[in-house]
Structure 1
Amino acid sequence: MSRPRIVVVGAGFAGLNCLRRLERRVPRGSAELVLVTPQDYQLYQPLLPQVASGLVTPQSISVSLHRLLHQTRMVPGFAVGVDVQARAVLVRTISGALTSVRYDRLVLAPGSRTRQFPIPGLTEHAVGNKTLAEAVYLRDHVLAQLELANASDDPAEREERCRFVVVGGGYTGVETAASLELLCEEGMRRYPRLRESVDWHLVDVADRLMPELGQNLGDDALNLLRSRGIRVSLGVSVREVSADKVTLTDGRVLPSRTLIWAAGTEPSPLMAATGLPTQKGKLTVGSDLATPSHPEVFALGDSAAVPDMSSDDGALCPPTAQAASRQGPVAADNVIASLLGRPTRSYRYRDLGLLVDLSGRDAVAKPLGIDLTGTPALALTRGYHLYALASGPARARVAANWAIRTAFGGEVSRLGFLSGSRAAMGVAEETECVQPDEARRQIEQLSATDPNG
């Protein structure tokens, strides 16, 4: 009898923690573990704003999967379709070729992608901050604007290049604005003539900043941002974007050549492409993380509609790193239980709080419902990041980055990522998926040439 094949799609917090549990719990040689992912590293996304500002290096938060996984075969590519009848995943490899991967159990954890809206000029002119490529590009772009503004004698051009607009009052938007404003502060030592020209804006359609923090901490975060010169506009969004201006819904026109889009995320299109039931794009699963109609298919993380068992109103678990991290081991245990014909267990969500690092010496935190600001919040925030990183070398690199920045300041220099085409928003996140019928047709063709999958 052949070994069962367990295929995991995605190497984020959910997928990686699931695989690490499987490697520990499944006896060597008794099952085949396969990971489908376009990158050979796990990206620690919470520190992307600090990569954009240069506070930590890109290598520090990209943890090699080869260091973390020792019994898993990797297929380098994007899952673009699933045929649940044939139990196969259609994969577009990083070379562009299509291949199919058969499974006995499938764990879908593809994460989410940047939410986009039909705003004129948005996809052409905005930059996100959800991938390593976008974070590194952002740093080069911001520094380039300062250099070009300093070299220009045209007041209009200097104004456009020195104004930066961030859209999104959540975790990513707030931390990105705070981190890059600090980068500009360091740049002013080199370009003192621009000190009065640099102008940061943070806009969000909600009427409160990070409402999950609560009224008091949300106000603290708002005051901290404004004390550093960041103009925060709430109840406002973007109406139109062009190469040199951003038009807001309240009628204001901001001359600017930089729009950073951090207005939330949306589920991976792979979930809808399975043909299985979804809720607002998220794959519907039970409390055991399995899909009701196909219990051999599990889903977790940002793109899974996981019921919150602590709530009585049908709420879903939030798309956070802490939830995804804890769903991974539960999914792994339930995959094993399903193969052995044993009962599965439910995932129960517990909110441990929110940590927001505003760079420099500023942070706000709400661990277990306790409001913290200042040094205690900063110590807790950075301590948690070190704990949550997946390897010892990664922790050492990040800690060293913070220590070097504290002792010697930052390096205000570009890394050369502005040559060639610009970083269009969302390009690095995911390829387009195919519908179930098309996935089935292509999988059948591939299976005819490689029956072993």
Structure 2
Amino acid sequence: MGNNKKIVIIGAGYGGLHAAKLLNKKLKNNPDIEVTLIDKKPYHTLLTDLHEVAGSRIEPDSVRIYLHKVFAGKRVNIILDEIEKIDHEKQQVIGKKGAYQYDYLILGIGSEPCDFGIPGVFEYGFNVGSLEAAIRTREHIEEMFRKASVEKDPDEKKKMLTFVIAGAGFTGIETAGELMEWTKSLCDKYNLDRSEIKIMVVEALNTILPNLNAKLAIKAQRFLNKKGVEVLTNSPIVEVARDYVVLKDGRKIETKTLIWTCGVQGNKCVENFGLELNRRCRVQTNEYMQAVGKENIYVIGDLAYYEIDGKPIPQVVETALQSAETAVHNIVADIKGEEKKPFKPKYHGFMVSIGSRYAVAELMGVSLTGFLAMAIKHLVNMHYLFGVAGIDAVLSYIYHEFFEVKNNRSILGGHIAAHVPTFWLVLLRIYVGALWLIEGINKIQQGWLDPSKIFIITASDVSGATANATSGATAVQTLQPLLKEPPAFYKWFMDTFVVPHAFLFQVMVVLAEVAIGLALIAGLFTFLASAGSIFLALNFILSAMADKSILWYIFAAIALMGGAGRSFGLDYYVIPWIKNWWKKTTFARKTYLYIS
């Protein structure tokens, strides 16, 4: 392998992030290879979720994955800069803050909205092409509702409450679905009649969702129509003004909100990079994802233009990921003197959510709709996030998609989204803790810490080897236990492990009861104490020593596991300290096992 090779990746989008992680994996044991990722932002943006931000289903932080978390413990340098040009002779990329040497360069700077030369689009329209744009769109939509609530002129009010989404591709339909749901709560908030709201999807083609099969597109359109969304096909927009848009047939739609999702082009900064461009500012590549005429420059994702069977590769996430894999393979192959491989994409399908509970999907030739399609979309998202930042990113996604939702806008509605104030659980926590503490003290007084007295082994617990039960066991048998006798596996466990060390296990039970009681009373490690409470209760049930009253402990403990120690308990202070300490550990950073 060659020495002192510098690989620079520009752009921390889907492709750039994937390329950096793959290079680290393949070359981490080679100290002569230096991998650098450059982006103007300190985080990776989940672009496919921006419609949820624009529609106020999730908060902006939900789509940010910070690069320092992704690459903690990895041999990838992170530089925050905006690259403006490439010096091909010196093999440098030049940014606003400095110049960076490269031996191999991967361009993954993505795309930006394209107006197709239609006047007024960028001046008066909104979009969801970036996090900043999605936030502006979100703020504008709510501002229209706020203004409409006090507007006296009916014509002005109608313009404010008419929302036009231009483009019926994935982004347009998903944005329409979010807006369709959000307007319900906005009407309640600003005391507006929902019949005054008009949402329109305007598409130049004769169908919506052209990348899906016709049956799924029809189902999606029917769902939108059913929810009150008007869909216009064969209706290209030719002009955009502050208060209206004009269609090719001359129709004028009066509105103060146009959300433009009609397509994207390569980031225009690439015009200064000295590379051969094809349609819409996309860099022409060969089959190895190399920029034409530049063997050490690779182009991935939306920026790359390469035709397969006469069609340009689509600007979708799977293209970004798979083109990144091709570029990384070929760079490593070139360093090692091995054979390069051409880009051969394999698309697994497409999924489109229409609001929070309905989706249409085409996966490996199978068409899905409704709840199942939405569930698979969530699973695919979590699979991607796990690869990027491990279980921490997955848990964060689950939290903001299912638990921290507003107005029941999730696939499960609001059934698991309600936030219960933990202070209501304080008295229950202390009461359950006191019961366990009293139980432990009673056992101590009965002699459970006396090695001459064994209480935990009864005649029904184990086989004949332990039939010599004590009087304490006889007292237990007067209860009406939930089980007449322990299950066979429990008897085996008792015979094998407990009987030879009966007193030790007996002491452990007593100490556990006292510890659980004190922990719950103090509100310290409440989750673990509650789990211990459940474990002990189940143990007593399996040993045929407990009647139905023991079930109360189980259900109370389940309730307490939801953060009962955060109110008037030591967990309020201890858990944040532990989290801060844990996040700084090398193990947590390398494994992504952060605690949110």
1:151 match: secondary structure: coil
After TM superposition, the structure 1 = structure 2 runs for residues 207-356 of structure 1, keeping only pairs within 5 Å, are 207-280=206-279, 281-308=281-308, 313-356=309-352
2:576 paired residue number? none
Deviation sequence 1:134-183 (CA, Å, 0-9, x none): 11221121111111101122212211110111101111111011111211
Of residues 401-410 and 13-22 in structure 1, the stretch that sits farther from structure 2 once superposed is: 401-410
Paired residue type of 1:30: D
* C-alpha RMSD of the superposition: 2.0
Post-superposition offset of 1:217: 0.4
2:68 paired residue number? 66
Q: Confirm or deny that 1:79 pairs with 2:83.
A: yes
Q: Confirm or deny that 1:385 pairs with 2:394.
A: no
- Tell me the distance in 2 between the aligned counterparts of 1:337 and 1:385: 31
Q: Confirm or deny that 1:126 pairs with 2:125.
A: yes
1:445 paired residue number? none
- Tell me the distance in 2 between the aligned counterparts of 1:291 and 1:238: 34
2:290 match: secondary structure: coil
CA contact (8 A) 1:365 1:371 kept: yes
CA contact (8 A) 1:330 1:347 kept: yes
Q: Confirm or deny that 1:5 pairs with 2:6.
A: yes
CA contact (8 A) 1:272 1:283 kept: no
2:321 match: secondary structure: helix
1:16 paired residue number? 17
CA contact (8 A) 1:10 1:108 kept: yes
Deviation sequence 1:100-158 (CA, Å, 0-9, x none): 21211111111111112332322211111111111122112111111110112221221
- Tell me the distance in 2 between the aligned counterparts of 1:156 and 1:78: 45
Of residues 348-357 and 237-246 in structure 1, the stretch that sits farther from structure 2 once superposed is: 237-246
- Tell me the distance in 2 between the aligned counterparts of 1:271 and 1:218: 35
CA contact (8 A) 1:186 1:410 kept: no
Deviation sequence 1:255-278 (CA, Å, 0-9, x none): 211111111101123444333333
Q: Structure 1 residues 212 and 291, CA, compared in 2 at 3 Å: closer, same or farther? A: same
Paired residue type of 1:83: D
1:104 paired residue number? 103
2:32 paired residue number? 30
- Percent identity of paired positions between Structure 1 and Structure 2: 25
CA contact (8 A) 2:356 2:409 kept: no
1:90 paired residue number? 94
* Greater than 4 Å deviation, 4+ residue runs: 405-408
Post-superposition offset of 1:383: 1.4
CA contact (8 A) 1:60 1:394 kept: no
5+ long unaligned stretches in structure 1: 94-98, 412-453
- Tell me the distance in 1 between the aligned counterparts of 2:172 and 2:210: 13
- Tell me the distance in 2 between the aligned counterparts of 1:237 and 1:363: 26
Deviation sequence 1:5-42 (CA, Å, 0-9, x none): 11111111111101001111112522121122111111
Q: Confirm or deny that 1:146 pairs with 2:168.
A: no
CA contact (8 A) 2:44 2:65 kept: yes
- Tell me the distance in 1 between the aligned counterparts of 2:293 and 2:356: 50
5+ long unaligned stretches in structure 2: 411-596
- Tell me the distance in 2 between the aligned counterparts of 1:44 and 1:111: 13
TM-score w.r.t. the length of structure 2 is 0.65
Deviation sequence 1:189-221 (CA, Å, 0-9, x none): 223433111101110111110111111001111
As a proportion of its length, which structure holds more strand? 1
CA contact (8 A) 2:58 2:405 kept: no
After TM superposition, the structure 1 = structure 2 runs for residues 418-433 of structure 1, keeping only pairs within 5 Å, are none
As a proportion of its length, which structure holds more helix? 2
1:442 paired residue number? none
- Tell me the distance in 1 between the aligned counterparts of 2:405 and 2:83: 42
TM-score w.r.t. the length of structure 1 is 0.84
Deviation sequence 1:385-432 (CA, Å, 0-9, x none): 121222233322221222236686369xxxxxxxxxxxxxxxxxxxxx
Q: Structure 1 residues 297 and 395, CA, compared in 2 at 3 Å: closer, same or farther? A: same
1:319 match: secondary structure: coil
